[in-house]
Structure 1
Amino acid sequence: MELVSTHVQKRDVAVVAALHDLNLATRYCDRLVLLHDGRIYDAGSLEILTPDTIRTVYGANVSVVHHDGERVIVPDTSSRTNDTDAS
């Protein structure tokens, strides 16, 4: 991704990439398009990556935090259920 990012900056071009790693997307993308059920759910800057949006699109509970000036998506592991506990 560093190579692609450098190419984009040097050539002043755009790149369309399909990424499933939201932290990778937050690091390298200026704009995002989120798809849900085969349709565009939301599009825009990184600000669209909210816990509610991520829950709707991916079915995952997360926190969105800032660390060293970067937006980081952190899974909420406290909401996980342990299959071995069910008896």
Structure 2
Amino acid sequence: MVVLSKKTTVFLRAPRATCLRQKPWSVPYFSPLRTLRLIHYAAWIAQRWHDPAFPHAFSWFDSPRYWQDHILNLREQIALMDEPPLIQAG
């Protein structure tokens, strides 16, 4: 049996909205950081594409479907960043 501290148990049971209310300054950064992560992940694979393991492990990376979806995701992220944040920082 694993014994958790009361603080850990409360954190694990807390809804996600509760965590957001505690740090409202971070909400406006969600979309830009997600966009950066999407771009960084694709760049990371592209930089290592000549490693023989990468084309096998990421066989979908050079498919037209992946790039269509990737561009669509980036366009959606741009649209989200153009909208005002749900919670104002400050």
TM-score tier, shorter chain, comes to under 0.3
Q: TM-score, normalised by structure 1?
A: 0.27
Between structures 1 and 2, the one with greater helix share: 2
Q: TM-score, normalised by structure 2?
A: 0.27
Q: Relative contact order: is structure 1 or structure 2 higher (C-alpha 8 Å, sep ≥ 6)?
A: 2
Q: Which has the larger radius of gyration?
A: 2
